Structure 1
């Protein structure tokens, strides 16, 4: 029994070493990193993917545990995993930006609800678009593509040589602007119609100063906003698919390049 423990101990250490990158990616990635996902489920998924990695790659874990070299290797593994998930998380912030723009133009910017992804309050419209993006992410097998990228990352960035360069960190930081650009383009159809409505209401206020704009403008903004969202939703759905594909492509090009 004692000899069996000596044999299996290196394999368990190798499994735990592989789970560091996998677990960090799942924590930072959308869907897997939701606060509603229990910790035992994340650990089970990390261990299952780690077994898959060990079956397809030859991983050599550090021989000693409590050394500076091992600590640096663990930090490097965690950074690679966090970078993979963080790039996807940036793109998933686009619906929240679009919800802020649309909600403010409709006059319901105060309508917030709890975001199950982060546990914080977010605009109701942004939450609706975020749920649609999550469903499209799953329907397009984005979660499977993420798992495939995690497995392939051990070939592109093998343990021991997994440090991200300064250029990769810079590109990941610059990719943060994509969330604002994608959110603006996602809200553009509805925002344009609401802008036209505001222009009309402004002209009415100048031509009829006695008109109560609060009694007319808010219901009109709500009605036009709901109708415009219903009309523009097919185009918004197509662009949500573009966001999913761009996020997966960016995660591969920025981290695994």
Structure 2
């Protein structure tokens, strides 16, 4: 056993593993699927440890010599920042279906229908839960979780410990990618939203032509029926665009760590 500068004796290999697990664990906390509320903490820690062993076997990681030192705290903070940034970029893309569900649900008249989302533990629209499960299944189907693990491992080449601070350009790219959430959400809701907008225009013209009609008794069921039919017809195209969103998110995460 090799004593460190603080007088605390710990196996050097164990300290190196814990140091490597900081970046991996931070990425898993912020990333979708791995960061879900339903994911047990023991599973997250076990995966972080297993990937940490892989990183130590393929990279020469030299952890800080002293545990309780300012340079060590700064190094740990830099490692956590890189991990959080990787997971946060993917989380930004996974928020796009929530934006689309708000637009579609409000137009259909089911915006009030909400429940607890098991992914994040917050109350979300029922349509948003459907889109969230759909993009999660597509993410797993295209092996997005394996691509995330590969990016984490490759990040130790591009951003080695000790030089892992994100630059201004990288932080700027994360902020600019946040605008993609609203663009993708709008494009995802466009097919169904356009049909519902046309329906609202028709109902508005009918209300002007025949003011005596009770449009509240007709408009709500019509909006709901048209919305359900439009969702069924547009689902193949929406599924393809969800794959585009996943591809853009993985590309942005790769650009973040690999340049």
TM-score bucket (shorter structure):
over 0.9
Give the match for residue 5 of structure 2: none
The TM-score, its normalising length taken from structure 2, stands at 0.96
Cα distance in 1 for residues equivalent to 2:206 and 2:257: 53
Give the match for residue 58 of structure 2: 56
Shift of 1:8: 7.0
Give the match for residue 91 of structure 2: 89
1:208 aligns with 2:214: no
The TM-score, its normalising length taken from structure 1, stands at 0.97
SS class of match (1:176): helix
1:134 aligns with 2:133: no
Give the match for residue 66 of structure 1: 68
Shift of 1:255: 3.6
Shift of 1:113: 1.3
Cα distance in 1 for residues equivalent to 2:257 and 2:175: 12
Give the match for residue 181 of structure 1: 183
CA contact under 8 A between 2:21 and 2:52: conserved in structure 1?
A: yes
1:194 aligns with 2:196: yes
Structure 2 unmatched runs, 5+: 3-7
Structure 1 unmatched runs, 5+: none
Cα distance in 2 for residues equivalent to 1:202 and 1:53: 62
CA deviations 1:9-41 (Å, max 9, x no partner) are: 000000000000000000000000001111111
CA deviations 1:184-214 (Å, max 9, x no partner) are: 0000000000000000000000000011111
1:76 aligns with 2:117: no
Give the match for residue 23 of structure 1: 25
Shift of 1:256: 3.1
CA deviations 1:87-128 (Å, max 9, x no partner) are: 000000001000000000001110111111110001111110
1:122 aligns with 2:102: no
Q: How does 1:104-115 map to 2 (within 5 A)?
A: 104-115=106-117
Farther off after superposition, 172-181 or 82-91: 172-181
Give the match for residue 223 of structure 1: 225
CA contact under 8 A between 1:26 and 1:42: conserved in structure 2?
A: yes
1:163 aligns with 2:195: no
C-alpha root-mean-square deviation of aligned residues, in Å?
A: 1.3
1:40 aligns with 2:42: yes
CA contact under 8 A between 2:79 and 2:161: conserved in structure 1?
A: yes
The count of residues paired between Structure 1 and Structure 2 equals 254
CA contact under 8 A between 2:158 and 2:257: conserved in structure 1?
A: no
Cα distance in 2 for residues equivalent to 1:182 and 1:115: 21
